[in-house]
Structure 1
Amino acid sequence: MTQAHEGLGIASCRAIVDAIPDMIIRIGKDHVFRSFEGKVNELYRPEVDYLGKRIEDVLPGATAIRFVDTLESAFRTGQVHSIDYSLTLQQTLCFYEARLVRSSDDEVIAFVRNVTREKETEEQFHEYQFHLEHQMAMRSADLSAAENRYRNIFRHSGAPSIIVEQDFTISMANPKFEELTGFDCREIEKRMKWTDFIYPEDRQMVIRYHFARRSDADEHGAPAEYECRIIDRNQSLRTIFIKVGMLSETGRSIASIIDITSLKNTEQELRDRETLYSAILEGYEGFVYFIDRNYRIRFMNENLIHNTGGDATGKICHEALHNRSAPCLWCVAEQVFEGNRVRFEMKNPNDKKWYYSINVPVRMSDQSVFCQAMITDIDERKRMEEALRDSEAHLREENIRLRTSIEERERFGDIVGKSPAMQEVYELMLMAAASDTNIILYGESGTGKELVARAIHAMSSRQGSNFVPVNCGAIPENLLESEFFGHKKGAFTGAGADTKGLLDEADHGCLFLDEIGEIKPGLQVKLLRAIEGGGYTPVGSRRVIQSDFRIIAATSRNLTERVRAGRMRSDFFYRVHVIPIHLPPLRKRKEDIPLLAEHFFKAYDRKIRPTLTSRIMEALMNYDWPGNVRELQNVLYRFVTLQRLDLAGDAALPAPDPSVEATFPAASLPDAVASFEKRQISAALAQHRWNRTRTAKALGIGLRTLQRKMKAHQL
């Protein structure tokens, strides 16, 4: 179950705690008060006087001893233990009820309620009953003869009492009525009417009862006891229970009153709490039901009723909910009845869906225990988890397979080499492709930085968008901003139309910045803003354009030194220097030279390839290759074309069979020219990776001419 479902949420739990008219106190096994929640204003002392202190240090002696004994019993038995005690709070004797229950091996939670009002109400009931019975006995004997004694009892009655005349005038009120209303007897007697105190909405009822009681025809239309509401001197509304009897004098009645305002407030709190709980239950998106020890359903929420097609309250749960003749195999009710909370996930055999079940015991007022089950549909979440696990397993297998294949293979896309140095590069390339952060490639000229950049892009999530290569050192400084950001028509001399920039072309793709160290600090600031998501503004425009691009930078320089020298901004450097990959020079991976030579030779026609003898391979292996792989490619191109191995600073080595006649039998001049032309075109195509446009330009012929000759030579 998600945290959003579990419990009712922190805010809802807090609302429930605040709604409960109890203090919730956590007490340690060492008798130390740990925390207070709820009605903390009912504390005997300020909260700070309790926290961190022992019961014996803050409660009066006898009360502390009883409280500690109850606490120890709760720890020992694990059962709920109750204690009644009283404390003097602000010179007023207050009564409390506490229920202590063990929540853990070293902690008990005490639910403490101030029952002073209930005690007072109970005492008032008893006192009222006693005095009323006494008064009625005295009046029945001889009311007229005992007038003075009656008045004395009336004045000293423990319950508020009044005598009401025929016209509602209050002829007599005792001191308790004064306390109840806030008016003095001298203001009330023979001056105020009983209806002056009645709440307007209840006034007609009281008037009807008043006249019915004095009418012989409708004597039974007025109850002797009823509830109504009055307004005291402070305009506070109070609810009273009133008992009315007629006196022997015509038209006069005596009313004895009990203030039940606190009782009514308690009832309202209970109703509000019930409403709150009902709203929680009905608002819960899952299913909720209660069962007793006989597995009989005592309550179902609306969601469950709707799901099952009817209210099954009173029926056996496994029969009504699961169509089973015996308790379900996954049923945990017995554990719950023993006081345990049980949570579990299960797949329902009926609808084949996954559910999360929370089962808790609920103790009723008669001490019976119900099992409350809260069930949430988690089928979609479980399916997602299974899909994620399957995807994770697939990715893990694919990663292992790919890593294994890299270790076993001799190339990675267009990158050739199986040396340990290149295996490390391949590993970094995989990690870089799996992320979307910026990358910087370090390596000497000719080490294949652009090939690596393209390979990373082809494996990344951006592979479907553009890969935009930029040689930062080849763009004139005065055109750099226009090239990167684009320009509007008329922005400068020669700007005849709106032109998109490189950042726009690289949107959702990759921007490859070769020789990034050549970018001037002024442009670095504007690029940095675009990299950080602030957008950019084309030259001649005021509109800010957003572009989502990834940077793969490359350099043969020491960028750290350029930062120290002030030729590169440190914030720009750290934005592109996230995943650094160092490409080794060819002289540090000479074991890859035979593979590279074989790879380059495959681009040429088999008929014109010379043989790589051990002597030539030895020469290739002994050379330091300052121009790296690019130099090796060019050397092999010359070797194929000129039939000799020409290394800078070394004497040229002839091919194994330098005789053109031996390699190519005597033929007519047109055939010899055609054969030579074929070799030249094949070599040029190999050098330029079969890019026909660049090959035609290198050979000094038109593209259509090249295409015609390739067709003629079957290339």
Structure 2
Amino acid sequence: MRQIATDLDLDFRSLLDGLEHPAILLTPDYQIVASNKRYQQSFGDVPVGDHCFRVSHGYDKPCDQAGESCPLQACTHSGERERVLHIHNTPRGREHIDVEMLPIKGRNGELRYFIEMLKPVRSASAEISSDHMVGRSAAFNTMLELINLVAPHDTSVLLLGESGAGKELAAQAIHSTGGRCDKAMVTVECAGLTDTLFESELFGHVKGAFTGAVSNKPGLLESARGGTLFLDEIGDVPLGMQVKLLRLLETGSYRAVGSTQPQLADFRLICATNKDLPAMIAEGQFREDLYYRINTFPIHLPPLRERRADLALISRSILKKLSPNGGYRLTDSAVKRLQDYDFPGNIRELKNILERATIFAHSSIIDLAVLERCFGQEGRQAEPAPSPAAPHKGPWLDLKAQEQQYLKSLLQHCNGDKEKAADIAGISLRSLYRRLEE
């Protein structure tokens, strides 16, 4: 009997070694029976007989009893493979792990063992990082799980969330872990583009197509060939251009401006917006048919006020990026102050405050006093109620003229610093240049 058990154990190890990901074999009561070579290389030796929840999380009870979802329990109830995103302890620190659980049944259909495959998620970090999205909160993990699920597919993704919530980073995460990661991700900033500019940027143009077209110019669709096309702020695409965009998505072909020759497109589409597209549809500002073409797989990016538990980690990651050798450290009272604030500008606003803090701080310590000075610069302090507005005098300006006037005043305030002006206006530097040229 001992020889049979040994042979069975060896067969399981051979089975695990045939898998392309780190894997362990579990009993229904969470005990580890065996691990494969990839697991040992990635996570180290695992003591046979120990429990998975203790090894992966340091818990003294199963995950579902510690407030987390348990793939083994889910697999037991469904009898089918289950998948969940967890944060595991590893030799490198805490990491996001895509856990897939497969049941192994006996001859009578009873659940005998479970194979747990562990796939590290490289597009995000549960530790300080200046290169990836960071977070450990439930809201962040829910978003990351959706990103991880859809990334391997060519499905169109719609990223929804407030300005500054990190939609471009999420788009990069989808692209970098998808099947087109070896090709380019091309970003089209839709805000501020007129029909003509949008069409020329996206489709390209031929020589003589319009005044100033002195040579053929390939569009961004050509640059995105084989890769990913990211349409940022899709809600700002002009109505007239929405028809052509819809035709591109339906037919997979397009024509450069001024050309009669159709060309085939090859890209994975990711769109992002901070606008309420269904409300825009009701108001006639966005095409319903285009909405359903781009909304195949929606992902909501939570604002910072829903990720307060992540604020310390995000802040330290930003400080590391702002000053790799500075060694800036937030005091506990400073972290508490950040967690008590709602951040209407989300991560973009947090970055501005922390950058000010590195300027105001007299040492590498950023304390509450330094942060309060930064918030004072933000203009968030209580102000007296405004007096009633005086009647308008003089001619009314149209919106475009008001925008031009605003941008000129803003540039004057910033002493010509366009990057600073774009940051205050809440638009990209590229969009600012376009609006000034118009």
Same fold (TM over 0.5): yes
The Cα shift of 1:521 comes to: 2.5
> How far apart, CA to CA, are the structure 2 residues paired with 1:448 and 1:650?
23
Q: Secondary structure at the match of 1:592?
A: helix
Q: Tell me, yes or no, if the aligned pair for 1:609 and 1:640 is still in contact at 8 Å.
A: no
Counterpart for residue 409 of structure 1: 126
Q: Tell me, yes or no, if the aligned pair for 1:470 and 1:511 is still in contact at 8 Å.
A: yes
The Cα shift of 1:402 comes to: 3.4
Unaligned runs of 5+ in 2: 1-14, 24-37, 39-82, 85-96, 100-117, 362-369, 383-418, 424-428, 430-438
Q: Report runs of 4+ in structure 1 exceeding 6 Å deviation.
A: 389-392
Counterpart for residue 244 of structure 2: 526
Give the alignment's Cα RMSD to 1 decimal: 3.0
Structure 1 residue 622 corresponds to structure 2 residue 357: no
> How far apart, CA to CA, are the structure 1 residues paired with 2:214 and 2:339?
54
Counterpart for residue 11 of structure 1: none
Structure 1 residue 472 corresponds to structure 2 residue 190: yes
Q: Secondary structure at the match of 1:457?
A: helix
Q: Tell me, yes or no, if the aligned pair for 2:143 and 2:301 is still in contact at 8 Å.
A: yes
Structure 1 residue 432 corresponds to structure 2 residue 150: yes
Counterpart for residue 312 of structure 2: 594
For 1:206-225, list aligned pairs within 5 A.
none
Structure 1 residue 535 corresponds to structure 2 residue 253: yes
For 1:371-382, list aligned pairs within 5 A.
none
For 1:51-62, list aligned pairs within 5 A.
none
| TM-score (normalised: structure 1) | 0.35
Q: Deviations over 1:432-484 (max 9, x none)?
A: 11211100000101111000101110001111111001110132343111111
Q: Tell me, yes or no, if the aligned pair for 1:482 and 1:501 is still in contact at 8 Å.
A: yes
Closer/same/farther in 2, CA of residues 574 and 641 from structure 1, 3 Å limit: same
Counterpart for residue 639 of structure 1: 357
Counterpart for residue 516 of structure 1: 234
Q: Secondary structure at the match of 1:602?
A: helix
> How far apart, CA to CA, are the structure 2 residues paired with 1:445 and 1:563?
20
| TM-score (normalised: structure 2) | 0.56
| Counterpart residue type for residue 517 of structure 1 | G
The Cα shift of 1:567 comes to: 1.4
Closer/same/farther in 2, CA of residues 650 and 482 from structure 1, 3 Å limit: closer
Counterpart for residue 44 of structure 1: none
> How far apart, CA to CA, are the structure 2 residues paired with 1:603 and 1:580?
30
| Counterpart residue type for residue 191 of structure 2 | G
The Cα shift of 1:520 comes to: 1.9
Structure 1 residue 582 corresponds to structure 2 residue 300: yes
Counterpart for residue 544 of structure 1: 262
Counterpart for residue 214 of structure 2: 496
Q: Tell me, yes or no, if the aligned pair for 2:252 and 2:266 is still in contact at 8 Å.
A: no
Match of 1:423 among 141, 144, 147: 141
Q: Secondary structure at the match of 1:532?
A: helix
| Counterpart residue type for residue 514 of structure 1 | D
Identity score, percent? 40
Counterpart for residue 20 of structure 2: 394
> How far apart, CA to CA, are the structure 1 residues paired with 2:322 and 2:205?
44
Q: Deviations over 1:287-317 (max 9, x none)?
A: xxxxxxxxxxxxxxxxxxxxxxxxxxxxxxx
| Counterpart residue type for residue 489 of structure 1 | K
> How far apart, CA to CA, are the structure 1 residues paired with 2:323 and 2:240?
50
> How far apart, CA to CA, are the structure 2 residues paired with 1:554 and 1:536?
22
> How far apart, CA to CA, are the structure 2 residues paired with 1:419 and 1:621?
13
> How far apart, CA to CA, are the structure 2 residues paired with 1:392 and 1:549?
34
Q: Secondary structure at the match of 2:175?
A: helix
> How far apart, CA to CA, are the structure 1 residues paired with 2:306 and 2:322?
27
For 1:552-591, list aligned pairs within 5 A.
552-591=270-309
> How far apart, CA to CA, are the structure 2 residues paired with 1:451 and 1:634?
17
Give the paired residue count.
267
Q: Secondary structure at the match of 1:599?
A: helix
Q: Deviations over 1:119-164 (max 9, x none)?
A: xxxxxxxxxxxxxxxxxxxxxxxxxxxxxxxxxxxxxxxxxxxxxx
Closer/same/farther in 2, CA of residues 596 and 393 from structure 1, 3 Å limit: same
Q: Tell me, yes or no, if the aligned pair for 1:530 and 1:546 is still in contact at 8 Å.
A: no
The Cα shift of 1:540 comes to: 0.7
Q: Secondary structure at the match of 1:469?
A: strand
> In terms of mean alpha carbon deviation, does 457-466 or 527-536 score higher?
527-536
Which protein shows a greater Rg?
1
Q: Deviations over 1:620-640 (max 9, x none)?
A: 111110000111111000100
Closer/same/farther in 2, CA of residues 611 and 408 from structure 1, 3 Å limit: closer
> How far apart, CA to CA, are the structure 2 residues paired with 1:523 and 1:391?
53
| Counterpart residue type for residue 225 of structure 2 | D
Unaligned runs of 5+ in 1: 1-388, 653-683, 689-693, 695-715
Q: Deviations over 1:311-355 (max 9, x none)?
A: xxxxxxxxxxxxxxxxxxxxxxxxxxxxxxxxxxxxxxxxxxxxx
The Cα shift of 1:566 comes to: 1.8
Q: Secondary structure at the match of 1:470?
A: strand
The Cα shift of 1:395 comes to: 6.0
> In terms of mean alpha carbon deviation, does 604-613 or 615-624 score higher?
604-613
> How far apart, CA to CA, are the structure 1 residues paired with 2:322 and 2:21?
39
The Cα shift of 1:392 comes to: 9.5
> How far apart, CA to CA, are the structure 1 residues paired with 2:354 and 2:134?
16
Q: Secondary structure at the match of 1:551?
A: strand
| Counterpart residue type for residue 234 of structure 2 | I
Q: Deviations over 1:402-449 (max 9, x none)?
A: 346559934796101110011111110111112111000001011110
Closer/same/farther in 2, CA of residues 610 and 621 from structure 1, 3 Å limit: same
Closer/same/farther in 2, CA of residues 607 and 581 from structure 1, 3 Å limit: closer
Q: Tell me, yes or no, if the aligned pair for 2:128 and 2:317 is still in contact at 8 Å.
A: no
> How far apart, CA to CA, are the structure 2 residues paired with 1:502 and 1:545?
13
The Cα shift of 1:610 comes to: 4.6
Q: Tell me, yes or no, if the aligned pair for 2:157 and 2:299 is still in contact at 8 Å.
A: yes
For 1:258-407, list aligned pairs within 5 A.
393-394=19-20, 397=23, 402-403=98-99, 405=120
The Cα shift of 1:571 comes to: 1.4
> How far apart, CA to CA, are the structure 2 residues paired with 1:583 and 1:553?
13
> How far apart, CA to CA, are the structure 1 residues paired with 2:198 and 2:177?
29
Q: Secondary structure at the match of 1:491?
A: coil
> How far apart, CA to CA, are the structure 2 residues paired with 1:417 and 1:607?
23
For 1:99-178, list aligned pairs within 5 A.
none
Counterpart for residue 168 of structure 2: 450
Q: Tell me, yes or no, if the aligned pair for 1:443 and 1:556 is still in contact at 8 Å.
A: yes
Q: Tell me, yes or no, if the aligned pair for 1:517 and 1:557 is still in contact at 8 Å.
A: yes
Q: Tell me, yes or no, if the aligned pair for 1:411 and 1:418 is still in contact at 8 Å.
A: no
The Cα shift of 1:611 comes to: 3.9
Q: Deviations over 1:80-123 (max 9, x none)?
A: xxxxxxxxxxxxxxxxxxxxxxxxxxxxxxxxxxxxxxxxxxxx
> How far apart, CA to CA, are the structure 2 residues paired with 1:607 and 1:487?
46
> How far apart, CA to CA, are the structure 2 residues paired with 1:532 and 1:504?
18
The Cα shift of 1:650 comes to: 4.8
| Counterpart residue type for residue 126 of structure 2 | R
| Counterpart residue type for residue 475 of structure 1 | L
| Counterpart residue type for residue 98 of structure 2 | L
Closer/same/farther in 2, CA of residues 537 and 633 from structure 1, 3 Å limit: same
> How far apart, CA to CA, are the structure 1 residues paired with 2:175 and 2:18?
23
| Counterpart residue type for residue 394 of structure 1 | E
> How far apart, CA to CA, are the structure 1 residues paired with 2:235 and 2:17?
41
Indicate the structure whose relative CO is greater, using CA pairs within 8 Å and at least 6 residues apart: 2
> How far apart, CA to CA, are the structure 2 residues paired with 1:562 and 1:651?
34
> How far apart, CA to CA, are the structure 2 residues paired with 1:454 and 1:530?
23
Closer/same/farther in 2, CA of residues 438 and 390 from structure 1, 3 Å limit: farther
